[in-house]
Amino acid sequence: MTTPDPLSTLTFDHERVLVLTGARSGLVISVAVHSTKLGQALGGARLWQYDTWADAVADSLRLAAAMTLKNAAAGLQRGGGKSVIRIPPGVVLSPEEKRDAMLDLGDAIESLGGAYMTAEDVGTSAELMSIVAERTEHVCGLPPEQGGVGEPADATAAGVYASILSTLDAMFGSRVLARRHIVISGLGQVGGRLARMLAHDGAQLTVTDVVAARMELASELGAAWVEVDEAHRVDADLFVPCGLGGVLTSEVISELAARGVVGAANNQLAQPEGAAELAARGILWAPDFVVNAGGVIYLSMASEPNADQRAIEERVAAIGDTLSRIFRDARDRGITTLEAAQWLAAARLGEV
């Protein structure tokens, strides 16, 4: 059977896409600028393993389009973009090779003339962004000791937390976390922080991660541990995906035992039709590009002159209010939460 081309299934409405082989690293780099209608595109740089270069490019296109929706729905004067650096299967980069990749990425971003600003994402960090900054000024989220605003994981987790409260309110008429059973899939920078917050407030946790060493966090928090491919089958109030995207396939949706889904992972729906499949099963889904906007809100606002930390925190907390509006719109208009969130972002983009 012929494997379908991952690029052939995508709608291409991006302003600019740059695909190149890094002069130093020899790695394929894709920088996708989806929209600058609201302002300079902003979105992180992902350093990850992909089977083919086409898979990496396709991911950058999907992620860039999602960033346009995310930034618009969050009310930011930012467009959407994303960078992806492909690591071939089985390859482990040395620190020197990572440095070369970041320098190549910096050159690629600089060649776009300011259309796109990058930041950390999966596989990268504030420290790696400081290397990108050697080649371009269009990067944010550098370490504080270098005058930057640091990594945005705290803000992302805070936004997901606010979204969880709003989702519980829409489902049960209460924001109380005590004794609510929540399944978290992915205990990385955001998922781990979120698990601590939820445990502190009395939630009953079941957790998992592809990294077995993170079982230690489960033990510390008194959380149950399950295998990754079993997490969605756990009977719970909420399923919280905090790893890579595409987790909500038709098969997973048909087996999902939670009553709601709200998490930090990008592009959770394997196909857009998944939103209707979730609704048909009576499962409330919180659109990911709304839920996980805390990080980009932080990076955008904290990078401005005279940044106000309290204003940033209030803006991140307001993600919960935005989500509540989306739930109401979806219910009142008889549409999916995905359509309601897209409508909100489209209205914002149409204001310009």
Active site residues: 82
Residue linked to tokens 């400081």: 130
Residue type at position 263: G
Residue 64 DSSP class: H
Residue 11 DSSP class: -
Residue 51 DSSP class: S
Rounded distance between C-alpha atoms, residue 21 and residue 10, angstroms: 22
Q: Are residues 303 and 273 in contact, defined by beta-carbon separation less than 8 angstroms? A: no
Rounded distance between C-alpha atoms, residue 221 and residue 314, angstroms: 28
Residue 285 DSSP class: E
Rounded distance between C-alpha atoms, residue 238 and residue 171, angstroms: 10
Rounded distance between C-alpha atoms, residue 249 and residue 275, angstroms: 10
Task: Classify the C-alpha dihedral 341-65-86-148 as positive or negative.
Answer: negative
* Nearest of 302, 348, 4 to residue 155 by alpha carbon: 302
Rounded distance between C-alpha atoms, residue 67 and residue 78, angstroms: 9
Classify residue 349 by burial, with Cβ atoms within 10 Å: 0-12, 13-18, 19+: middle
Residue linked to tokens 């196909």: 271
Cα 11 to the center of its chain, rounded Å: 20
Residue 118: Cβ within 10 Å count = 29
Rounded distance between C-alpha atoms, residue 308 and residue 305, angstroms: 9
Q: What are phi and psi of 207, to 5 degrees?
A: -135, 165
